[in-house]
Chains A and B, each alone.
Chain A
């Protein structure tokens, strides 16, 4: 058990819809990272939050947004979903001088 909690484990939805993925970091970790794993793009960094503030952005689409709340949990919002957004979305916490530990991921399927 990594200590990072992601919900839900699976999401099935249709094109054009909007979904929210949730992540609770390990106790004591201030940073949350979001990654997307797809067959064609591999594992890609999306965005990082540190103690409520956006710290770094990667290959995140404009249709995607994230935030980190005062209790340090984070949400990744995906809107106007397309078939190509089907992927496994990971949240990780830690970083800096500590390794990142990953949640179990949310598998998103767009029909």
Chain B
């Protein structure tokens, strides 16, 4: 079974600074997707970024980028130029490719942004 581990329960960053959130996962599959979802206090689940395991290039979405290390099964999220609106819980998630593409989530990390 696939597992996703987020070992840091909380992190804090100064506004305009850069922060990296860590995630590791375990799987025996060779092709899959990894995601970061953001859950602000409103409790919505918002997709931040997606990485396909077969793509060597790290995904980037504006101020958000990932460092995907397939051999190490590591998938970290870097947030540049942190903004107050980035304060939220962030979940790392894994899914297999194919029809049964349920998401397996980590426990999440709470990010606070200091003004």
Count CB-based A-B contacts (< 8 Å).
56
Interfacial residues of chain B within 83-115, with CB under 8 A of chain A in the complex: 91, 95, 97-105, 107-108
Q: How far is the CB of A5 from chain B (nearest CB, A)?
A: 13
Cα distance, A35 to B46, chains bound together (Å):
14
Report if A16 contacts B (CB, 8 A).
no
Binary B-proximity of A17-53 (CB < 8 A = 1, otherwise 0): 0000000000000010101000000111100101000
Report if B16 contacts A (CB, 8 A).
no
A88-B43, A102-B45, A104-B43 given; A48·B102 CB < 8 A:
yes
A55-B99, A58-B102, A96-B99 given; A101·B47 CB < 8 A:
yes
Q: How far is the CB of A93 from chain B (nearest CB, A)?
A: 11
A88-B43, A105-B44 given; A100·B103 CB < 8 A:
yes
Cα distance, A100 to B37, chains bound together (Å):
10
Binary B-proximity of A98-111 (CB < 8 A = 1, otherwise 0): 01111011010000
Cα distance, A104 to B101, chains bound together (Å):
20
A95-B95, A99-B33, A99-B35 given; A105·B43 CB < 8 A:
yes
Interface residues on B, range: 20 to 34
Interface of chain B, helix or strand or loop or mixed? loop
Asked whether, in the complex, the Cβ of A99 is within 8 Å of the Cβ of B50, the reply is yes
If A50-B99, A55-B99 are given as contacts, then 18 extra A-B residue pairs at C-beta distance below 8 Å, sorted by A number, are A33-B103, A35-B103, A42-B105, A43-B103, A43-B108, A45-B103, A45-B104, A48-B100, A48-B102, A92-B103, A96-B98, A96-B101, A99-B47, A100-B47, A101-B47, A102-B37, A104-B44, A107-B43
Residues of A whose CB lies within 8 Å of any CB of B are: 2, 31, 33, 35, 42-45, 48, 50, 55-56, 58, 88, 90, 92, 95-97, 99-102, 104-105, 107
